[in-house]
Every structure is written in C-alpha cells, then in structure tokens.
Amino acid sequence: MERLTRYSVAEYKGVAMVVIESELLPPDPAVVVIPLLPDYPAIKGLNPEIMVGGERLILATRLIAAVRRSHVRCIGSVADQGDSINRAVDILMSGV
C-alpha cells in the first residue's frame, strides 16, 4: 500500500483528492478523501480553492468519500493549506 499522510494529494481514476484522515489511525485498506475539482461551485469556507502544482482546484467537501488505498497513488501534498481544509470539514459537520 502507498504511504499516505493527512493532506497528501492522491490520484484516483484521474481525479485528484486530498487525504483528510490522520496517519495515526490504525492501518485500513481504505482512506478518507475529498475530491479536488476544477469546476465545482466555490462556496466560501465550505469549498475553498486549493492550489495543487500551480493549478487552482476546488475542495468538493460534500463529496467526501473513502477509496481503497491500493487504487490511489500519491502525487503531492497540500499540507500548507491544511487550515482551509480543516475549516471546510468543520463547516460540513457543524454547518457554521
């Protein structure tokens, strides 16, 4: 299995996704991710713009999902944008 940490950018079937689960959790065949899409509606706070390799993508927070680790490959990291990602997940869960 590929080593993924929180805020790793993983590619799954041509779609970039950011890993949001902690690497401190016990090993599991699945990993929780949020897709990064070029044309998703940007809602302040909930769907922040995330820069990945010079490309502006939208964190599609409501499309949170789990994918099999064996089906993704790590293509980078957005750890420097972790605060925006955490805020988006908090808004998804709390509504504010």
25-37: pLDDT as tens digits: 998 999 999 999 9
Nearest CA-CA partner of 64 in 8, 17, 29:
17
CATH of 8-94, one of 2.40.50.140, 3.40.50.1370, 2.30.30.110, 2.130.10.10: 2.30.30.110
Average pLDDT over residues 38-66: 95
- 29, with CB counted inside 10 A (0-12, 13-18, 19+), is exposed
- pLDDT computed for residue 96 by the predictor: 80
- The chain-wide mean pLDDT, for the chain, equals 94
This prediction has a pTM of 0.93
- Phi, psi dihedral angles at 2 (to 5 degrees): -70, 140
Average pLDDT over residues 49-55: 94
Whether residue 1 is predicted with pLDDT greater than 70 in this model: the reply is no
